[in-house]
Structure 1
Amino acid sequence: MNFVVVDHPRPGIALVTLNRPERMNAMAFDVMIPFRDALEEISNDNAVRAVVITGAGRGFCSGADQRSAGTLPHVDGLTPPTVALRAMEMLDNVVLSLRRMHQPVISAVNGAAIGGGLCLALASDIRIAAEDAHFRAAGINNGLTASELGLSYLLPRAIGSSRAFEIMLSGRDVHADEAERIGLVSRCVPGEDLLDECFDLAERMSGFSRPGLELTKRTLWSGLDAASLEAHIHQEGLGQLLVRLLTDNFEEATAARKDKREPRFRDRR
């Protein structure tokens, strides 16, 4: 069985589905390793302009697989502490692979996004949730910390520190309507409309200039990482200059508005 399925539902759009519904798409290595590999392959596929991630069945991703973690490669002869370190490194790389993708990434959260599943959603650029989806920072409920896979970094930046502290320290569920209200997701929609909503958004984004889209994504993330406005604002300006000087996109957009047509960006002069 393929635990990760890649489809192309519309031109320029890749749909990546975690496909282990009987385990709510839990983060066993047998799922996460091909997921990471698929992300890296899609990132380098220049025919793909936007990416949508979802889960098969009732769940988006239920976090750590507490029944069977699956098989981690390249650990023969290692002691358990080192195996644990390699396991965390592999899972960290999944989150970082999402952040590093050239294309914008939309998480179509179709159900439970728990623990590491919440982290995957937060590492995406945009989150849209089905009305029956819910989110949970589950580590605290399992006698561990709620901080994992970047969660204590990403969640406060998404919803603010007070809400993040409360959600992570209480281990409570955040349902889709609340997630929309506090900015954890862009919006929640009926489950039957979820993928089409995400495809429509992906299609809209894929119509823009490729370097403009990629640089906007990069500067948004680097802005969240920046120590100060002054440190970041120059990077924004350099990105704008790069696209302005090396392409005729601005002239094409101006002409398209004058002609009352959609622009045709060539991403070059």
Structure 2
Amino acid sequence: MFVEVERPAPGVAVVILNRPERLNAMAFDVMVPVRDQLVELGRDNDVRAIVLTGAGGAFSSGADQKSAGKPPHADGLPRPAYALRSMEVLEDVVATLRRLHQPVIAAVDGAAVGGGLCLALACDIRIASPTAYFRAAGINNGLTANELGLSYLLPRAVGTSHAADLMFTGRDVDADEALRMGLVSRVADPVVDEAVAIGERIAGFSQPGIEMTKRSLHAGIAAGSLESYMPVEGIGQLYLRMLTDNFEEAVQARAEGRDPVFRDDRDGGI
């Protein structure tokens, strides 16, 4: 199997791309099971946060240019349709990461190149090891730098000027520069341990509170204006304020000098 799942802490699952001899390149026999595992974890209500990482000192080197394999259900298709089906499989992995109820933390070690950069960008949080590096590689291959949502996600992560720099030059960005430009939120070693610790912290909060926060965060990124978006946030806050006792528990816990214990329902109904 080229994909492994570990459960190192309560509420946290780690999905590992495990084809280190190919730097975890995005062959179909890697990406299809990754998508399927993510879908399965998304339906597991005991999983509160997901870490995505790669084995063998690399996150993912992007498209597998030597042994990509075949996309499912593509036999007999003409070349243009075959290419479309291939792209759809990879796009579905990115879309699945964005759709998951749980926050996803990319633990990036070594290369996050081309499609590998896109996988990292599709995650909610990105943590880099000191040896991590990032490259928008399409331009180096005589193509555009636009793939798998890169031209949507990258400028929203780092701003348009940094995004243009990376996409037009195809240069490598090391972990320290990635931190400075906001591509990652921290640099840590060992990176997976740090990502799991973040996942454990997330798992300690209200489950619907985290889910609503992720939904609102993504909606805010795509919103057309502040005025049209603010009611989305307000409704989310009111929803949890009315349907749970978590706010009262947080206030009481602070007064008593203890950690809150969140229950995601309300005693006695609304």
d(CA) in 2 for partners of 1:110, 1:165: 24
Q: Which string of whole-angstrom CA distances, capped at 9 and with x for unpartnered residues, describes residues 195-251 of structure 1? A: 111111111111000011000111111111001101111101011110000111101
Partner residue, 1:218: 215
Partner residue, 2:35: 36
**Structure 2 residue 203 is matched with structure 1 residue 206:** yes
d(CA) in 1 for partners of 2:95, 2:238: 27
Partner residue, 1:259: 256
| Shift of residue 37, structure 1, vs aligned partner | 0.4
Partner residue, 2:225: 228
Give the one of 231, 250, 253 matched to 2:247.
Answer: 250
d(CA) in 1 for partners of 2:92, 2:72: 15
Which secondary structure does the structure 1 equivalent of 2:59 belong to? strand
TM-score, scaled relative to structure 1? 0.98
d(CA) in 2 for partners of 1:23, 1:217: 33
What amino acid sits opposite 1:186 in the alignment? S
d(CA) in 2 for partners of 1:76, 1:114: 29
Q: Which string of whole-angstrom CA distances, capped at 9 and with x for unpartnered residues, describes residues 127-181 of structure 1? A: 0000010000000000011000000000000000011001100000000000001
d(CA) in 2 for partners of 1:142, 1:32: 21
| Shift of residue 77, structure 1, vs aligned partner | 2.0
Q: Which string of whole-angstrom CA distances, capped at 9 and with x for unpartnered residues, describes residues 18-58 of structure 1? A: 00000000000000000000000001100101110100002
Give the one of 231, 241, 250 matched to 2:238.
Answer: 241
Give the root-mean-square deviation of aligned CA atoms: 0.7
**Bigger mean CA deviation after superposition, 54-63 or 68-77:** 68-77
Q: How does 1:5-24 map to 2 (within 5 A)?
A: 5-24=4-23
What amino acid sits opposite 2:129 in the alignment? A
Which secondary structure does the structure 2 equivalent of 1:8 belong to? strand
Partner residue, 1:57: 56
**Structure 2 residue 87 is matched with structure 1 residue 82:** no
What amino acid sits opposite 1:114 in the alignment? V
**Structure 2 residue 134 is matched with structure 1 residue 135:** yes
d(CA) in 2 for partners of 1:73, 1:52: 26
d(CA) in 2 for partners of 1:122, 1:128: 11
Which secondary structure does the structure 2 equivalent of 1:61 belong to? coil
Query: Which stretches in structure 1 are left out of the alignment for 5+ residues?
Result: none
Partner residue, 2:93: 94
Q: Which string of whole-angstrom CA distances, capped at 9 and with x for unpartnered residues, describes residues 108-131 of structure 1? A: 001100000000000000000000
| Shift of residue 255, structure 1, vs aligned partner | 1.1
How many residues are treated as equivalent by the alignment?
A: 266
Partner residue, 1:69: 68
| Shift of residue 264, structure 1, vs aligned partner | 0.8
Partner residue, 1:183: 182
Query: Which stretches in structure 2 are left out of the alignment for 5+ residues?
Result: none
Partner residue, 1:169: 168
Structure 1 ranges of 4+ moved more than 3 A: none
d(CA) in 2 for partners of 1:92, 1:194: 26
d(CA) in 1 for partners of 2:92, 2:225: 27
What amino acid sits opposite 1:262 in the alignment? D
d(CA) in 2 for partners of 1:249, 1:105: 24
What amino acid sits opposite 1:103 in the alignment? Q
Which secondary structure does the structure 1 equivalent of 2:62 belong to? coil
